[in-house]
Amino acid sequence: MANLRQHTATLLLPTVFFGYAIYANSTMLFTPPADAKGGKINDLSLSYVIDGEATRDLDALYKSELPHRDPAVGVIGNARYALLGSGRKGVIIGDEGWFFTGEEFKRVKPTDIESAVARIDEVRALLAEAGIKLVMVPLPAKSDIYAEHLPEVMRSDAMSVAYSDFSTALKAKGMTVVDTRAAMLAAKPFGELFLKSDTHWTPTGAKVTAEAVQSTLQQSGISLPSETVTASWQTPVDIWGDLTTYITSPDYAPRAGLKQENIPIYRTAVNVEAEGTDLFGTETKVPVMLVGTSYSANENWSFVDFLRQSLVTDVVNVAKEGLGPGVPMMDLLAGTALEDTQPSVVVWEFPIRYLGTPTLWERKSQAGTGGHHGGVGDSNV
């Protein structure tokens, strides 16, 4: 029965797609695009096709004005997911609603780890010259922590090996390294640490990591000034996981049985008056600075708040979304934030799935193509 279902789907999906394509393209051929400059309608002449103008105009329409584009994406995506249990390139479908980014299914080269650690060691030295301690927080892959939800054929030790090798190499350079993987595996029976339909962690995963940072600092003898931190839970928010868009559109996702993620929001505040901050608003020192990716920058995960609570001190967050872990650190070193806030500790959150990406240290516009600093699964697979 399963083979018959897959065979039927294999025939049905192309039929749906090409049937729609014939309809959409015939519509555009009978209503050719207007010239961008003069506003005139192009003639369907042989020269219009040979000179490449037709291809250019059709490409522009496909990107911005294709009739019924959103419904087509939703309907075809739903059909593909329902019949084949798959999505577009970039997402791996697991069981029980678990989705994974294709970026986590690669073997990181030893040379990639060596070059990354060498660059990180340069950063450590620069911070040390300013009297700042660097604390590395490598983050394990979701596909490693929840490997049991992967299809059997996709299970691999690649990400666990990369995590181990990366952490070992950092420690060999004398760096302070937080073992987030061990902390997550220990906490796994008590709550989900990653979102099912998203590449990021849950607030529980963020909290576990923040507590691991505090424990590591304590064991390393790194002391921080104690401050008055208040905390409270806020109204939860519902979001569509970023991996859902690699299956279907949000408008059509419920019809495929997909649901939004419900995110509890945690917020903290430092009682500045109790700590004697200058009432006139002049710059003051902040003991800890957090650098990293959207795991830290996106307020939905509450990582900086859990970090403040765990460390019982103030933390300034300079993490950035969509740039990976390297670029925000390069921006920090090139800017004035370190001088302005004068932290004694910099916590660097670093997902290991970025190791070996071409844009680890440069923005995409600088490094050409490659690297997941935009949409999930753009490359790196």
pLDDT of residue 43: 52
Phi (first) and psi of residue 27, to 5 degrees? -60, -40
pLDDT of residue 261: 97
Q: Are 353 and 103 in contact (CB under 8 A)?
A: yes
Which listed residue (144, 198, 305, 314) is catalytic?
198
Neighbours of 122 (CB within 10 A): 11
pLDDT of residue 309: 97
User: Is 294 designated active site?
Assistant: yes
Predicted TM-score (pTM) of the model is 0.78
DSSP string, 290-359: EE-SHHHH-GGG-HHHHHHHHHTS-EEE---TTSTTHHHHHHHHHSSHHHHH--SEEEEEEEGGGTT-TT
pLDDT of residue 119: 98
Give the C-alpha separation, 10 to 241, whole Å. 27
pLDDT of residue 141: 98
pLDDT of residue 15: 52
* H helix and E strand count, the chain: 14, 9
Query: Of all residues in the chain, what percent are helix, strand and coil, respectively (each to 5)?
Result: 50, 15, 40
Which listed residue (143, 167, 197, 294) is catalytic?
294
Phi (first) and psi of residue 134, to 5 degrees? -95, 130
The alpha-carbon radius of gyration of the chain (Å, integer) is 25
Task: Report the first-to-last Cα separation within the chain, whole angstroms.
Answer: 32
Which listed residue (200, 296, 310, 314) is catalytic?
200
DSSP 8-class letter at 35: P
- pLDDT tens readout for residues 171-187: 999 999 999 999 999 99
Q: Are 217 and 311 in contact (CB under 8 A)?
A: yes
User: Is 200 designated active site?
Assistant: yes
- pLDDT tens readout for residues 221-236: 999 999 999 999 999 9
Q: Are 341 and 289 in contact (CB under 8 A)?
A: yes
Q: Are 346 and 133 in contact (CB under 8 A)?
A: yes
pLDDT of residue 273: 54
Q: Are 155 and 367 in contact (CB under 8 A)?
A: no
Residue 191 contacts by C-beta under 8 Å, 6 or more apart in sequence?
Answer: 202, 204
Q: Could you tell me whether strands 99-101 and 91-93 are parallel, antiparallel, or unpaired per DSSP bridges?
A: antiparallel
DSSP string, 203-271: HHHHHHHHHHHHHHHHHTT-------EEEEEEEEEEE--TTGGGTS-TTTGGGGT--PEEEEEEEEEE-
Phi (first) and psi of residue 132, to 5 degrees? -110, 135
Residue type, 190: F
pLDDT of residue 88: 82
Strand order across the beta sheet in which 315-317 lies: 176-177, 133-139, 345-351, 288-291, 315-317
DSSP 8-class letter at 163: H
The ranges of the chain with pLDDT < 50 are 1-11, 28-30, 32-42, 44, 46, 48-50, 58, 274-282, 367-381
Task: Report the candidate in 320, 329, 307, 314 with the shortest Cα–Cα distance to residue 203.
Answer: 307
| Cα distances (Å, whole numbers) of residue 162 to 109, 138, 208, 252, 350 | 8, 10, 21, 37, 13
Residue 139 contacts by C-beta under 8 Å, 6 or more apart in sequence?
Answer: 180, 201, 209, 295, 349, 350, 351, 352
Give the C-alpha separation, 206 to 219, whole Å. 20
